[in-house]
Structure formats: C-alpha cells, structure tokens
Amino acid sequence: MPFTYKRTVYLADTDAAGVVYFANVLMMCHEAYEVSLATADISIKALLNNLSIALPIVHSRANFFRPMFHEDELLIHLSSQLLNDTEFEVVYTIVAASSSQQHLAEAITRHVCINPTSRNRTQLPEAIIKWLS
C-alpha cells in the first residue's frame, strides 16, 4: 500500500550540530506508519487493546544520504509488503519536499504478529492484511 506523509523537521528532531538525530528518522518513519494506518481506518488504540495480538518491530535499518535540517520539509514515501501470514515489512523513502525531490534517507521496519501472552507467532489481523494489499 503506497502512502506519502509530509513532515516538517522540528528543532527537537535535531542534534547539537543542527542535523536530524539518527534515531529520530525512525521515529518519523513510525509516524508515517501510524498515519497510514489511520488513513486506512485502522484504529491503533483498538490494535493495542486487542489482548490476543501484538505487532512488535523485530528489525529496523536506516541509511542516510544527505543531512536533514530544522524546518526542512520532507516527504516520507511508505510501501508495505506481506512476507508471510505472521510478518510484514515497511520500506520508507525520505525525500526533500522541494521540487528537487532529493533522496535523503531510507529505512525499513519488519513487524511480526505474536500472541503477547505466549509470545508465539500468530496470524496477522485481517485489517492489517487488507492495509498491506
């Protein structure tokens, strides 16, 4: 499911050098993920209140190509892929929102559906499968 999230870099996103702190890139990507779920009418609150499933991130990776600074306008392009009946991956491409669309960073998160009590894998909920398609 392709999705684009527009995000401004805030001062709190940056480090002492005025560049986006590396961990905050994953935070921004996670914001894009949350907004994409909400746009698809998936309630994160309902997912969190469902005591039979949890969707932890089991792997993440980020690559940085250009620095991002306070007040930069970003576009975070998100695409998701079903890996199997218990796992999916989200790929994020971060570009400048300006006309140059300069490639700034990319990230990946991999999510696994588990039963939070047993910690065993379980099938992804139908809403997530629908969001992935």
Catalogue the active-site residues: 15
For residue 133, the tally of other CB atoms under 10 A from its CB is 8
Three-state SS annotation for the chain: CCEEEEEECCHHHECCCCEECHHHHHHHHHHHHHHHHHHCCCCHHHHHHCCCCECCEEEEEEEECCCCECCCEEEEEEEEEEEECCEEEEEEEEEECCCCCCEEEEEEEEEECECCCCCCECCCCHHHHHHHC
